[in-house]
Copies of this chain bind each other. A is one copy, B any other.
Amino acid sequence: MRERFIVIGGDAAGMSAASKARRENPNLEIIALEKGDWASYAACGMPYYLKGNVDKIEDLIAITPEVFRDKRDIDLRLNHEVLRIIPEKKTIVVRTAQGEIELSYDKLLISTGAKVARPRIEGIDSTGVFFLRDIPDALKIKEYLEKRKPKSVLIVGGGYIGLEMAEAFHTQGMAVSIVELLPHLLSTFSLEIVQIVERDVKEYIRLYLRRRVNSIRENDEGKLSVSISDGENKNQEEIGTEMVLMATGIVPEVTLARDIGIELGHSGAIITDEYGQTNISDIYAAGDCTEVKSIVTHQNIYLPLALTANRNGRTVGTTIAGKKTPLSPIAGTAVVKVFELEVATTGLTDLDAAKGYGFDPVKVTIDSYSRAGYCPGAKPIKISLIADRNSKRVLGSSMVGEEGVAKRIDVIATALYSRLTVQELENLDLAYAPPFSPVWDPVLTAARVLQGKLE
């Protein structure tokens, strides 16, 4: 009998694992169970679909179920929800349209992803209040936009999704507000960089920082009134809006894992060994339901991002297919487009966080340009760079600018992976031509200034 590999959750990590396991091992029986209607889609593309940049929702499907079944010999079953895992019997119980079934496995991958964090807010279930996590969410928002043509929206949460959706709504002529509980947007980016973003977005939207949402009320005409206040419940304010988007973040979906005693980390996400195996033998986990290791701190972190999910799924698939391969640690690189700005980050960007990991951090923030100063179209770039005073190693960076930022961060990500010192970063032979960079690339300038503080 063929060895059977079952994947729970048919998105980035799960389908990457299934596909890679198939390529490595043609003899494996591979079953992928997805509780919903959609598998293998580009979740990161949903804001661009809602912005009107992507024609049809189907364009976000990376690989269709037919291709998985017919070309890759992967038995992908949609609308199959796994109810529980029985490790002692090495089986799982699955709800199907025809009732519950029990399937045995040899290897199991939990790639159940993450789900929206639903804050306890009065009125959160009102018509006109939306979340955005999966394709059904996106379709509901699209339908509401088309039918109701709301002229205003209040977004709760100033992270990636909140900001991308602010641009999407603004592009369609809506009045957009963002309410953020924390003192600043994009909390994992350097403050100096975030301040530029905040200054910029205020030209397009209304920004409420350090404000919590207390309640959402629906009036007779179907309009919403959102009550916000500061942390001490002072400065109460009522904001009228025709739509609310809750972009308050996600939490790992670990119900199945928790039920059988799989070890979870501080974040609540699944902990695995370096091969992606949980503390229960033959049960692996990958993607947005797991913690991953930081290349900078060597500690586990919860940073659910698309590349990591795809890559770790792929790596676990390789291991399950019989070729043991360790997971790669991550630098924590992220980039987001916010109206005209490219905003990017990698590694540690906050002095206090770096101290918490035992570093003696030094930080500089520099201003430079995306092209030679005399070149028309040169745009300002601001870079913040952190290093450890003892080891002189680069620890992280955030950047912002109108061009040349999204991929410039990758030099720092590569430097983190290579454990470069600031001096080594300064010595890099980076590309120069007047339309693309000053002679001293902004990254080199940041390294030079930081090196001056380390000497």
Q: Among A135-143, A182-190, A352-360, A428-436, which stretch is in contact with chain B?
A: A428-436
A440 at the interface (CB under 8 A from B): yes
Interface check A449, CB cutoff 8 A: no
Within 8 A of B (CB), among A293-336: 295, 305-308, 310-311, 328, 330-336
By a CB distance below 8 angstroms, the chain B residues around A60 are: 374
Pair A414/B418 contact, Cβ less than 8 Å: yes
A415 — which chain B residues lie within 8 A by C-beta?
414, 418
- With a cutoff of 8 Å between Cβ atoms, the chain B residues found around residue A418 in the complex are 414-415, 417-418, 420
Q: Which of A343-380 contact B (CB under 8 A)?
A: 344, 346, 372, 374-376
A375 touches B333 (CB 8 A): no
The complex places the Cα of A443 from the Cα of B417 at a distance, in Å, of 15
Residues in B neighbouring A110, C-beta threshold 8 A: none
Q: Which of A112-120, A146-154, A253-261, A404-412 contacts B (4 or more CB under 8 A)?
A: A404-412
With A414-B418, A415-B414, A424-B417 already in contact, the answer to whether A430 and B54 are too (CB < 8 A) is no
Residue-wise interface mask of A (212-249) relative to B, using a CB-CB cutoff of 8 A (1 in contact, 0 not): 00000000000000000000000000000000000000
Interface residues in A41-61 by Cβ distance below 8 A to B read 42, 44-45, 48, 53-54, 59-60
Interface residues on chain A, number (Cβ under 8 Å) = 62
Cβ–Cβ contact B376 & A441, under 8 A: no
Q: How far is the CA of A37 from the CA of B330 in the complex (A)?
A: 52
Interface flag for A388 (CB, 8 Å): no
Q: For residue A293, give the distance in angstroms from its CB to the closest CB of chain B.
A: 11
User: Counting CB contacts under 8 A, is A195 at the interface?
Assistant: no
Per the bound structure, the CA–CA distance linking A48 and B436 in Å amounts to 13
Considering the chains assembled together, what is the distance between the CA atoms of A344 and B437 in angstroms? 13
List of B residues within 8 angstroms of A42 by Cβ: 372, 374, 434, 439
Instruction: From the candidates B295, B427, B431, name the one contacting A334 in the complex (CB within 8 A).
Output: B431
Q: Is A7 an interface residue (CB 8 A)?
A: no
**Cα A331 to Cα B330 with chains together (Å):** 25
Contact of A432 among B335, B420, B431, B432 (CB under 8 A): B335
- Is A133 on the interface with B (CB-CB < 8 A)? no
Check A180 for interface membership: any CB of B closer than 8 A.
no
Residue A337 lies at the interface, judged by CB distance under 8 Å to chain B? yes
* Known A413-B431, A417-B429; further 11 A-B contacts with Cβ < 8 A: A42-B374, A42-B439, A308-B429, A333-B430, A334-B431, A335-B433, A336-B433, A407-B410, A409-B431, A410-B441, A410-B443
Q: Identify 13 residue pairs between A and B in the complex whose beta-carbon atoms are under 8 Å apart, listed by A's number.
A: A48-B372, A160-B433, A305-B432, A328-B427, A333-B432, A335-B431, A404-B407, A409-B431, A413-B431, A415-B418, A417-B424, A417-B428, A418-B418
List the 8 closest pairs (A to B, CB-CB), nearest first. Answer: A418-B418, A406-B436, A328-B427, A335-B431, A331-B429, A414-B414, A59-B374, A330-B429
| Contact surface of A with B, Cβ cutoff 8 Å | 12, 42, 44-45, 48, 53-54, 59-60, 160, 295, 305-308, 310-311, 328, 330-337, 342, 344, 346, 372, 374-376, 404, 406-411, 413-415, 417-418, 420, 424, 427-437, 439-441, 443
